[in-house]
Amino acid sequence: MTGSPKAEPSQAATEREETAFISEAMLAEAEAVRRTAARAAGEDAQHWRNAVTLLDACTGHVMVSGMGKSGLVGAKIAATMSSLGLPAHFMHPSEAVHGDLGRLRSGDVAVLISYSGGTEELVNLAAILRTDGIRRVGISCNHQSHLARLCDVHLAIGDVVEACPLNLAPTASTTAMLAMGDALALAVSRRRNFAADDFHRRHPGGSLGAGLKSVTEVLRFRVGDTLSTVREDCTVADALRTTGDGRRAGALVVVDQDGRLSGIFTDGDLRRRVNELGAALLTKKVSEVMTARPSSLSSDALVRDAVQLVRERRLDEIPVVDAHGRPLGLIDVQDLVSMKVIDLDS
């Protein structure tokens, strides 16, 4: 007799298996990073300190090299180092021995990456660099690899089980390499006291660069130019007359008798008060209807600080004040939107 046909798994069961596999793959990569981090804090701590010292002492450029997937990781590590104040570039090991070695100078340091530590092209490159007197940091699976023996300092990734079910495709090992490169770059920048201003000089474009600008650089509404202040003892009617007929901010900036910020009266406040009080609003003192002691930014704050305030407190206008609390201008949320540092729909 013929047995009953085997039941096919349901779609729901198949989907659960697939998402479980995806989760396991990411956990495998996280485990590789965790083990490498444990080595850095434990048995390999001195190796890491030596690597950071060697890179910190670099008076030239850092050359990063690797084959295949290790090379792709190396290119990203070089980019991270450059952005953190350690000039670096990637060099393919095959191109290196066909003329690109001419780009290296005394004072440069090489970072050579190979999980096996036996990649022929990279081992040959390490030997040449040793002969040429270029200092070398190696990254491979263990301290007994061919690459490790050819380097001044070596960092061990350790034994890694790849996320690939066949344990073949470089996955967890390359993730660990990338984390090691990032950690090296960050540790060197920390030694060099690399600050936000340094980062800004290297990232003038995009949302990163915009977020690191001073708020005073981007003020569209400036006191004495495109923005007037009003005294808290004046009437709403008089305060509204100060706004004029041209381009205006979405709020009145209110000051006390010493010229220090005491409140803000927004377009939203105006609409709400009109609904409550009608025409009687015009005879009220600004101090009676304003938002007292509003959130503000100091003149040394960054655009990213303004973004944080908008996100946390849902503000549309933020006064900027000097060291004495006197208003310098007003940040409008639409200015942040136009700079593409915030998305009001998110």
**For residue 131, which of 95, 94, 97, 179 has the smallest C-alpha distance?**
97
pTM of the model: 0.68
What secondary structure does DSSP assign to 67-111, as a single string? Answer: SHHHHHHHHHHHHHHHHTT--EEE--HHHHTTTGGGG--TT-EEE
Cα radius of gyration rounded to whole Å, the chain? 30
Q: What is residue 8's DSSP assignment?
A: P
pLDDT per residue, tens digit, the chain (346 aa), is 455 556 566 777 788 899 999 999 999 999 999 999 999 999 999 999 999 999 999 999 999 999 999 999 999 999 999 988 899 999 999 999 888 999 999 999 999 999 999 999 999 999 999 999 999 999 999 999 999 999 999 999 999 999 999 888 999 999 999 999 999 999 999 999 887 776 766 666 666 677 778 888 888 889 988 888 899 889 989 888 887 655 578 888 999 999 999 999 988 888 888 898 888 889 899 989 898 999 999 999 988 888 888 888 888 889 999 999 999 999 888 888 888 887 766 5
- For the chain, the domains span 17-194, 211-338
CATH topology of domain 211-338: CBS-domain (3.10.580)
Query: Is residue 268 helix, strand or coil?
Result: helix
Residue 291: both structure tokens together: 């938002």
Q: How many CB atoms lie within 10 A of CB 58?
A: 18
One-letter amino acid for residue 61 of the chain: H
- Burial (Cβ within 10 Å: 0-12, 13-18, ≥19) of residue 136: buried
Q: Which CATH architecture has domain 17-194?
A: 3-Layer(aba) Sandwich (3.40)
| C-beta separation of 321 from 261 below 8 A | yes
Question: Phi, psi at residue 84, to the nearest 5°?
Answer: -105, 20
